[in-house]
Amino acid sequence: DAKTTQPTSMDCAEGRAANLPCNHSTISGNEYVYWYRQIHSQGPQYIIHGLKNNETNEMASLIITEDRKSSTLILPHATLRDTAVYYCIVRPSTGNQFYFGTGTSLTVIP
């Protein structure tokens, strides 16, 4: 059972920041937020994860609200190669399953 809600699709102009929202209002205190993306016809690729602090790596930034009920993945300068489906995932506190949901289809427009 997916524990996250994401918009079905979004567009972003090339070179602009892409901000992908995710709601996870039932997240537990020890559950992490993960982001993966899936480029067409490939397996998903890990992007970033966080618990409550904002995180940044070479691919993206993750902003988690103080109440942890929502988060935003930021791609600072979107390129055409960032066109993909982006999955926001809350990892259960027990077991090791990742519930991917249906994600947000991001299209970067030239």
- With 0-12 / 13-18 / 19 or more C-beta atoms within 10 angstroms meaning exposed / middle / buried, residue 106 is buried
Using rule CB under 8 A, residue 94 touches another protein:
no
Among 71, 70, 97, 102, smallest CA distance to 86 is for 102
Using rule CB under 8 A, residue 103 touches another protein:
yes
Rounded Cα distance, 80 and 43, in Å:
18
Using rule CB under 8 A, residue 46 touches another protein:
yes
74 in Cβ contact with 48 (< 8 Å): no
Using rule CB under 8 A, residue 110 touches another protein:
no
User: Smallest gap, in angstroms, from Cβ of residue 51 to another protein?
Assistant: 11
The span of 19-27, 39-47, 52-60, 61-69 binding another protein (CB under 8 A) equals: 39-47
Using rule CB under 8 A, residue 2 touches another protein:
yes
Q: Which pair of tokens denotes residue 89?
A: 């995932």
Write out the residues near another protein by the rule CB under 8 A: 2, 32, 34, 36, 42-46, 49, 87, 95-103
